[in-house]
Structure 1
């Protein structure tokens, strides 16, 4: 970061290449992982192997020799570290002391080894036996109204554990099942289902072998799902044209060197990925896509006037779509002046991108959290579907819509019952299978659980993985309210900040990692997960567990459930924990259309496809057809521009995964050694009277009267659109109001947060 003040920090190199190998080597040395980790990496993401705990990108039927990326390798090294966080560590450090540690340092202590109970008198975690922990947690839960409790899950838990966790919640008496999907891609589950009838995308991996063009919106492939770069590189080499819309220039979608190609590594010859790359304003995607659609419609009108034929797929629209005329009227009425203002892009640029769409027979639309985490993110998804529907690009080979999710099984958990919405769960089948009356009232999602905690209505919180208190908005208020809960239970592999914000009674329960051998009564166990493309994969851990005192996630869930619930002859916790195959039989019985012959298909190369009705052009939307929608706004931000107001984008570095910080290197942005930065373009710096290296604070500019502030940020010149700034997640979460979320899904809107810069400290670092 020692560049001249008029030069932006940046990364000149490609994604992949030697930079990725150096990044992996650095974490390997840091975690002191045993040589056995090499064998785990060799098996990673391969049929019959171990499925990565990092991103949810699909696993190919014919894997590369090394089917892992930089972040996937870091996640495995992180899990298989030789460092141990033992009871002796907690004896040396009080919880109050540990609250002052950085997130990175907490997790760097290594794997948790023993079940622990928080002792308020000494302000320390003390060892407790599993039997005692289960018995006491069960007694506390029995004494509470089930509807005053919440069972959260992160995206790493297996399908088997997720199914039983959801069953436990419903047997106990509630649908309060917030999960990490509520924080990132619930906008997809709600918004996409509204317009196609399916809560998931329509693409499979082979579609990327056939598409003529790919349009990216708000997805950082190079850092968040780098294995996706392989099919993208292959697509470009065969002539596929890629157009990207993202406020931030992400190297992975600019150029790529394949680390598994000796020729590319030796010559350092990279493949250009995006033919066109547009730095759209944060929240400007609706306007940008409206501009694309407007030009497609104009070209169609010109073609019909000249040749009496259509560019638009009129037959598809007539047979399969609803609302087309209303959308066309909206697009025709939208002014280019407003489209340019809201998108931050020129008409000429948008028309050039639209020409690529028009000239392609098969197009895939891809998006990530840069779309879903906005107040009107659902409308952006509707607009992208509008664009694809215009030329019949949903429901055929080589085309479709493809949201790229984060956590390795976040989509799968929703598939098997982690949902606060009873209408999405096969309750009639559950009733028959387990002889009970499932609760039918709507439960709490993540935002609603937070509101309940602040209001004092939530008395207990059980967390199956994750770092909930660190990941959510409104952190200052949430941490204060969290300590007033009666019971908090955290199931985890490593220490994080959420484990230090405790209720009156608190337990920290360590579990096996996915890479470790899970030995139960019937022998070594297999677990399963679902990827972003709706394929199911089996995973077998082989490594020796970090501690002999660890239990599997499934064993911990069933252990608590047995002590909480009355006996039920049809609920056989011990039998299920002894043989996970019997849990898969239950999943198949509950979801027969998606999991036929589940146990026989665990290791299908490339996974077995769960299916999508929209891919078959069977539309489960309200009209029975795919829906063209009319946006109510051209900005997804949910707030207006104002003098001194900026749109804050929260970012992840390529040295982190969600809240897990592996280190302080954001190589692909040219930032090293710190996360306390405020990224802003040089012109905007000059207008604000800021200097590179100046230390400033960001202050919330939400119109709710609440003061929120994050200070100590070093002004850093960076290529961004005007009137916006960027900084790292989760450090910026205190600036996100709990009320600032997508209107339909309540997904926190962390990609366009209203803030002001307070430049009261002119010192430099």
Structure 2
């Protein structure tokens, strides 16, 4: 049996073992047993994971090598696979036994633990239950409801797992219907990248590939927990460390993956008594949100070293030839760095001048440097500026558009980056709308659609009447969880296309439907022929994915087939899109994608099965800058402020960052153990600095309620959390996503990108029982 959450007496103790290693193996054996699967029976599936001719992992989007290792998967990737191929079924009998009101009392883990959805279902309000519905009736009913609504009041959400083919079809259906409301997972995590990088280097995605990781001689890591969120990247870091490349990490929390690692790929390493590879040559625990200040300090150190070189006639530290030929805005950026005050840099970053100058010296000696980052940079009020400051740091020394160097935003879900590439966006200027109109004979709506934050605002204020979700668990992934869930039930229509049950299904609107679909690992046959889909990884490489496992139910339809059938019922006769042809042969969808995006998808059907994938056309990789200036732009930030709108000076206010455990992926909770942090049996914990606990009169394992510190008249609170002393900067605390999303105000987001600022939420702790 799977162990339940132990909120009364959880175990929390230091975890001193390396990431990977035997701890990872043991965890996977336990998970396979819990799912009723033996590892021997899973092997035939796992040996095809992330390999040519196989399927792409449904977990993270890290790159897939052309020459894969024998085990080209990580702990979390195996958990995701086990979660999908489970023999457990959430079928019509399950729904007949439980009311929606009852299921709403279950937690996220237990809902998904019921197994794969098998049958299309429709909510019956008189019974307070989901009941079976025929596919044809479901499509007709949903289309009828949508036709009665203003298209601008309907949201078409996409999770990060949908294929390129399904995503392209989805956005066309929505736009033919008349809606540009196409938020996706990127809105919640990397929109700061999508806005910031084009302004800096003319590309919405990173510039590096796996070949660059093989060639680099230094790496930066800012705000990324690699051991949990992209564990396969650890192999490339380990290789870099073994050849002597410095890896310098900035993160408020000490994360095991960037400290020590033992590769399960190497038996000798696993059997060795040593502690594994030291992954970070230097690890700096800066204040959450202190990244701009830290990078400014490094830049200031680089300028000082360059000044000294000029005085002595030595080799310049700046790449002056690169700056002169390829960059714009250097003088303004240089003035910003020179004017920056060391005392303010130290205060805002909580790092010392000596440490930052040390980093500058290490950086100045490297020739090929990669700047990696995650949501520790993007999920802030100044997320765009964080991304652009890292670009500035790399541009200073010409670390862009050369072998072994560049910027590397590490995306989360397996195809979230690719969905944007093929049209999933609320911004019309980012799609080839003239081509769509010419190809398919309809008029694309020209007004901007709703992003994730705006969609939530629309749900709350009632202007959003319908929500159609292609995967995901939207209501749990977004801020203001309580307010969104309460308002969700007042909508007219709620449609969920899913593989497993989650809380969003249970927020029953006036009309609610569950449409179960094939998973990526399952055999997808259309017109008697197996179908292959495609997705894009974090390094902008496109890969084929072919599922072969037996479908969980004979009633399941593929995502492209569901989209085609819904489109035929909803927008028949309003375009020349050949829905049946596309749903019957996904190669024809790929031809359509190539026609719309010829630069990125040249010879799509010929190249997408290439081992290692094929790389998109990223101009910045060859120093072609698709910006307004025609050059790479130095863009100095306005300030170092963590939060410009909330006063965080009161002594009882802490800065909360939400984090994931190594027993989850996004909103999917595999269990209650966060092995790499030593938290066992609960997710209801707040990790905080021991001196802050003492200052606030708290003892280890005291119980607290957590409230948002914001003067907007709205009470945001979660209750009965355990506090635990942890090694992180004073003033910071951490707890688990998505449970703590309830504390994030909707307006607390990146100012232009609208990414929820989940890594800097001002909160107060109220001890339970205190007056």
**Equivalent residues of 1:8, 1:718 under 8 A apart:** no
Q: Write the mapping of 1:311-710 to structure 2, written as runs, cut at 5 A.
A: 311-567=317-573, 570-638=576-644, 639-643=646-650, 644-710=652-718
Using the TM superposition, give the Cα deviation of residue 507 of structure 1 relative to its aligned residue in structure 2, in angstroms. 0.2
**Equivalent residues of 2:12, 2:678 under 8 A apart:** no
Corresponding residue to 1:733 among 741, 745, 749? 741
Write the distance in 1 (CA, Å) between the matches of 2:694 and 2:563: 55
Using the TM superposition, give the Cα deviation of residue 36 of structure 1 relative to its aligned residue in structure 2, in angstroms. 4.1
Task: Give CA deviations for 1:206-265 in whole Å, capped at 9, x if unaligned.
Answer: 101111110000011100010001111111111111000000101000111000111111
Using the TM superposition, give the Cα deviation of residue 183 of structure 1 relative to its aligned residue in structure 2, in angstroms. 0.3
Task: Give CA deviations for 1:637-664 in whole Å, capped at 9, x if unaligned.
Answer: 3344312111001010000000000001
Task: Give CA deviations for 1:19-44 in whole Å, capped at 9, x if unaligned.
Answer: 11111111111111365432110000
Write the distance in 2 (CA, Å) between the matches of 1:189 and 1:284: 21
Q: Which residue of 2 aligns with 1:207?
A: 212
Q: Write the mapping of 1:38-57 to structure 2, written as runs, cut at 5 A.
A: 38-57=43-62
Higher deviation after alignment, 744-753 or 633-642: 633-642
Task: Give CA deviations for 1:167-224 in whole Å, capped at 9, x if unaligned.
Answer: 1011111211000100011110011111111100000111011111100000111000
Write the distance in 2 (CA, Å) between the matches of 1:742 and 1:474: 16
Corresponding residue to 2:70 among 65, 70, 93? 65
Higher deviation after alignment, 52-61 or 550-559: 550-559
Write the distance in 2 (CA, Å) between the matches of 1:709 and 1:110: 31
Write the distance in 1 (CA, Å) between the matches of 2:351 and 2:641: 13
Write the distance in 1 (CA, Å) between the matches of 2:769 and 2:197: 45
Shift in alpha-carbon separation, 1:569–1:291, aligned structure 2, 3 A: closer
Task: Give CA deviations for 1:577-627 in whole Å, capped at 9, x if unaligned.
Answer: 111011111001111111111111121111000121111111112211111
1:754 and 2:762 matched:
yes
Write the distance in 2 (CA, Å) between the matches of 1:36 and 1:548: 22
- Structure 2 SS opposite 1:559: helix
**Equivalent residues of 2:370, 2:406 under 8 A apart:** yes
1:261 and 2:266 matched:
yes
Write the distance in 2 (CA, Å) between the matches of 1:577 and 1:227: 33
Q: Which residue of 2 aligns with 1:723?
A: 731
Q: Count matched residues.
A: 760
Using the TM superposition, give the Cα deviation of residue 635 of structure 1 relative to its aligned residue in structure 2, in angstroms. 2.9
1:742 and 2:746 matched:
no
1:231 and 2:239 matched:
no
- Structure 1 SS opposite 2:60: coil
Q: Which residue of 2 aligns with 1:222?
A: 227
Q: Which residue of 1 aligns with 2:22?
A: 18
Q: Which residue of 1 aligns with 2:171?
A: 166
Q: Write the mapping of 1:109-148 to structure 2, written as runs, cut at 5 A.
A: 109-148=114-153
Higher deviation after alignment, 16-25 or 308-317: 308-317
Higher deviation after alignment, 635-644 or 691-700: 635-644
**Equivalent residues of 2:159, 2:470 under 8 A apart:** yes
- Structure 2 SS opposite 1:541: coil
Write the distance in 2 (CA, Å) between the matches of 1:516 and 1:761: 52
Using the TM superposition, give the Cα deviation of residue 454 of structure 1 relative to its aligned residue in structure 2, in angstroms. 1.2
Using the TM superposition, give the Cα deviation of residue 480 of structure 1 relative to its aligned residue in structure 2, in angstroms. 1.4
Using the TM superposition, give the Cα deviation of residue 522 of structure 1 relative to its aligned residue in structure 2, in angstroms. 4.8
Structure 1 segments of 4+ aligned residues over 6 angstroms from their partners: none
- Structure 2 SS opposite 1:43: coil
**Equivalent residues of 1:160, 1:583 under 8 A apart:** yes
Write the distance in 1 (CA, Å) between the matches of 2:487 and 2:198: 34
Using the TM superposition, give the Cα deviation of residue 762 of structure 1 relative to its aligned residue in structure 2, in angstroms. 7.1
Write the distance in 2 (CA, Å) between the matches of 1:176 and 1:641: 35
Shift in alpha-carbon separation, 1:155–1:700, aligned structure 2, 3 A: same
Write the distance in 2 (CA, Å) between the matches of 1:28 and 1:39: 14
- Structure 2 SS opposite 1:732: helix
Write the distance in 1 (CA, Å) between the matches of 2:398 and 2:701: 51
Write the distance in 1 (CA, Å) between the matches of 2:355 and 2:331: 26
Structure 1 unaligned residues grouped into runs of 5+: none
- Structure 2 SS opposite 1:379: helix
Q: Which residue of 1 aligns with 2:184?
A: 179
Write the distance in 2 (CA, Å) between the matches of 1:636 and 1:134: 47
1:250 and 2:255 matched:
yes
Structure 2 unaligned residues grouped into runs of 5+: none
- Structure 2 SS opposite 1:78: helix
What do you get for the CA RMSD once the two structures are aligned? Answer: 1.5
Using the TM superposition, give the Cα deviation of residue 432 of structure 1 relative to its aligned residue in structure 2, in angstroms. 1.5
Write the distance in 2 (CA, Å) between the matches of 1:660 and 1:569: 37
**Equivalent residues of 2:100, 2:130 under 8 A apart:** yes
Taking structure 2 as the reference length, what is the TM-score of the superposition? Answer: 0.97
- Structure 1 SS opposite 2:155: strand
Write the distance in 2 (CA, Å) between the matches of 1:640 and 1:320: 40
**Equivalent residues of 1:148, 1:457 under 8 A apart:** yes
Shift in alpha-carbon separation, 1:537–1:268, aligned structure 2, 3 A: farther
Using the TM superposition, give the Cα deviation of residue 760 of structure 1 relative to its aligned residue in structure 2, in angstroms. 3.1
Taking structure 1 as the reference length, what is the TM-score of the superposition? Answer: 0.98
**Equivalent residues of 2:346, 2:352 under 8 A apart:** yes
